[in-house]
Amino acid sequence: MSDPTVPAPDLTAAGPAAIDWPSLLRQGTGPTQAEFRRLVEHTTHYHGYSPDLIWGNLQTRAYAEEVLRLVVDLHGIPRDIEAGAAERVARAQYFGVGGRSFHVLLGEQALLTGIGGPEVMHAQLEHLLEAVKLPGLTLGIIPARARLTVYPGNGFGIFDGARVEVEGYRGGETIIDDRVQIFRRAFDRLHESAVYGDDAQAVITTALHAS
């Protein structure tokens, strides 16, 4: 397994720019997901934590559509669900390309949260089992009863060690200031509670059989 520590940012590169996610979301899920895909495209090293949903880059098309349907219904935005889902699943094209690495932690709850019903969840978990083999991906599962060394908090993504994106009911938030280091430390501590490889697959398989 590769070094789990989140790399320090490249201070010689141009600084990242914040995105006005709430304004973008009002235009629909298509523009929002397209912008996020571009963000992934321009990232070399990604570290992410998703406590209760399957991470976007590993979602099936059906799962992504169900998630975005919930977003559309909550925010009352244009119902361009198919366009948004297409952009979201397109992130998977970057696995194994250009030396990119993705280190992702999923809470066990992400395997159990009922998105779209049993059929959607069953297919999603089968897909997740296959995804463990993807090049450039390090996937850890944090068991529900694992002892944590930091409080769980919300899901987040760290892009090249210099930018954090946090999602919530109010829409996405970009963090590019000194608070980034808090998320880097949180990821490293969450990693300590995760299982990988055969142990991670066993947790996923258990959830699959229960779906």
Q: Give the tens place of pLDDT for each residue, 113-166.
A: 999 999 999 999 999 999 999 999 999 999 999 999 999 989 999 999 999 999
Digit-coded pLDDT (tens) for 49-71: 999 999 999 999 999 999 999 99
Digit-coded pLDDT (tens) for 37-48: 999 999 999 999
pTM, two decimal places: 0.91
Tell me, what DSSP letter sits at residue 9? P
What are the phi and psi torsion angles at 51 (to 5°)?
-75, -30
Q: How many CB atoms lie within 10 A of CB 111?
A: 23
- Interior CA angle at 54 toward 53 and 55, to 5°? 110
Q: Are 116 and 176 in contact (CB under 8 A)?
A: no
Q: How far apart are CA 77 and CA 69, in angstroms?
A: 10
